[in-house]
């Protein structure tokens, strides 16, 4: 049997999953930023339509109508955990069972956040115009700052109760101070603020050899404080 096409998640779907699950990776439970968050399937997507799926669903106590591609099976993950997990099928342990139950509990809420994201016409139009201006290099800093404020205010309304009022986190000990279309400004454990560009394929030099993904203030890691010799 041929493998089903891998789902390409929309920004709205990824935002909803990330938001309702408290902006943390479901596997390591560490904070993950929206820009780096990936959507993972608890029951692997590769099983969709396979003969093995029914037995696995029964093992988890799930009905035959359980949809692999649904809010009840989608969770936010960091790139490292999602890559390590791959298509692994977890055993029906209490821990994984709990994750499935939480996903099911949040499914309605995720759909609501998704719908709100899609129907907020004013923000959609503003974002399109600002993105066009940014790409053409015509977006003044004052409007970039307004965009950041708009995102944070809009996101604050959608956040889970335990996350409201808390700063956005890039990772353990790292707080996003501000961001634009191209970069994050991040305060690390040292209290120093540094920069990290956005993107899926950053040069490995942007990660600290001692503590992993980080921001940099010159040649100093803002998370562990190590000074990296440029030579």
113 with 182, same domain: the answer is no
55 with 92, same domain: the answer is yes
> Is 2 a domain residue?
no
| Domain stops at, among 129, 158, 187 | 158
140 with 65, same domain: the answer is no
28 with 17, same domain: the answer is yes
Residue 2's pLDDT is 45
The pLDDT of 39-68, averaged and rounded, is 89
110 with 127, same domain: the answer is no
Q: Which of 176, 159, 158 is nearest to 167 (CA)?
A: 176
Q: Two tokens at 113?
A: 């956040």
β strands within 111-179, DSSP E = 169-171, 174-179
Residue 74's pLDDT is 96
| Buried-exposed string 92-106: b where 16+ CB fall within 10 A, e elsewhere | eeeeebebbebbeeb
Domain range for 180 is 169-221
> Is 212 a domain residue?
yes
Provide, rounded to the nearest whole percent, the portion of the chain with pLDDT above 70: 79
Report DSSP state, residue 193: E
| 109 contact partners, CB below 8 Å, separation of at least 6 | 20
> Is 164 a domain residue?
no
| 161 contact partners, CB below 8 Å, separation of at least 6 | none
- pLDDT tens for 192-218 read 889 998 876 778 888 888 888 888 998
- pLDDT tens for 98-157 read 999 999 999 999 999 988 877 765 566 666 666 666 656 666 666 665 655 556 556 667
Instruction: Please give the tally of structural domains in the chain.
Output: 3
- pLDDT tens for 14-41 read 989 999 999 999 999 988 888 788 999 9
First-residue to last-residue Cα distance in the chain: 52
| 86 contact partners, CB below 8 Å, separation of at least 6 | none
This prediction has a pTM of 0.60
């Amino acid at each position: 049997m041929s493998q089903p096409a891998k789902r390409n998640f929309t920004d709205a779907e990824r935002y909803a999953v990330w938001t309702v699950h408290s902006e943390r990776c479901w596997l390591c439970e560490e904070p993950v930023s929206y820009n780096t968050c990936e959507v993972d399937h608890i029951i692997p997507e590769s099983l969709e339509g396979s003969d093995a799926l029914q037995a696995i669903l029964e093992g988890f106590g799930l009905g035959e109508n359980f949809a692999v591609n649904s809010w009840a099976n989608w969770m936010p993950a960091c790139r490292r955990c999602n890559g390590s997990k791959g298509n692994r099928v977890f055993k029906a342990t209490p821990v994984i069972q709990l994750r499935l139950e939480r996903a099911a509990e949040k499914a309605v809420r995720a759909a609501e956040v998704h719908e709100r994201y899609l129907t907020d016409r004013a923000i959609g139009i503003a974002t399109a115009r600002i993105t066009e201006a940014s790409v053409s290099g015509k977006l003044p800093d004052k409007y970039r700052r307004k965009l950041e404020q708009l995102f944070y205010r809009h996101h604050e309304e959608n956040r889970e109760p335990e996350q409201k009022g808390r700063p956005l986190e890039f990772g353990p000990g790292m707080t996003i101070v501000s961001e634009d279309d191209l970069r994050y400004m991040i305060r690390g454990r040292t209290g120093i603020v540094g920069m990290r560009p956005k993107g899926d394929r950053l040069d490995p030099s942007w990660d600290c050899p001692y503590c992993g993904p980080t921001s940099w203030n010159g040649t100093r890691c803002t998370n562990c404080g190590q000074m990296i010799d440029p030579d």
